[in-house]
Amino acid sequence: MCQGTAYFANNKRAVFGNTNSHSDAELQLKIDGDTYRKFEYLWWEKKIQQVHYDQVAKDILAKIDENKAQKLVEQSVKKNFNTDAKLAKWLKKVPDEWDKLFEPKFYSLAKKVNPLLNTFKEKMEKFKKQPIGKYNPYQAEKLPNLKTIKKAMPKKVGDQVWNQVGDKVWNQVRDQVWDQVGDQVRAVSYWGIKIALSLPIKHWFFDWLKLGIIVVFVQGKVKVFGKKGKYLGEYDKKDFIK
């Protein structure tokens, strides 16, 4: 798993990319990564570690002095990451590393990288103390009309669903239904985050969630469930796709 600053070092120099991925850094730096030893600077621990190599890789890189390469990386870190301002400059370009900024000790650093991070952190702490049911959108008690359901779902998505479900034989229906319900339940997590953090995220499925229903496509039917899993009714496939 990529983490920290992606570093490369040989006997002459140490270089790093504006990413935590060595493969992406190779492209940024326009270098052949196989001619360098790879390191990671774990900025949140102020620790440098070399990437693990198997014996074949060790043999290939034997001509690069390990201690010298390590020393060059240490010098680069001292020069380029010795202040919060310099670290923040790098972090601004690497949002994949921002999750670590939610730790209390990085409050000031997070503010330098993106002030919204601390705002999100405060909202997340408040979110965790509230009943999760508050963010459950599945609250429908009546079956929405067919036109309303169809409007909330793009036609191309509907076609994909029917292509996936239509050819299923009965002994596969259970798994298919579970997959559909599971996907929708997982989507609620994103919905909760969107609401809790006031994120301007738009997606057709969120419009569907506003209807307060879970929809399952199976055996030519559109089965609709609502609050506490109550079965609200169903529509025929032929009516749904018209």
Provide the pLDDT for residue 209: 77
Provide the pLDDT for residue 137: 79
Residue 226 banded pLDDT, cuts 50, 70, 90: confident
Q: Which residue ranges make up each domain of the chain?
A: 5-125, 135-240
Alpha helices in 81-115 (DSSP H): 84-91, 107-113
Residue pLDDT, tens place only, 57-106: 888 899 999 999 999 999 999 999 999 999 999 999 999 999 899 899 99
More reliable by pLDDT, 123 or 7: 7
Residue pLDDT, tens place only, 171-187: 444 444 445 545 555 55
- Which three-class secondary structure state does DSSP give residue 79? helix
d(CA 156, CA 1): 35
Q: What is the pTM of this model?
A: 0.62
- The secondary element (H helix, E strand) that includes residue 224 is strand 221-225
Provide the pLDDT for residue 125: 80
The CA-atom distances, in angstroms, between 225 and each of 77, 111, 215, 216, 233 are 56, 44, 6, 8, 7
At residue 107's C-alpha, the angle toward residues 17 and 202, to 5°, is: 75
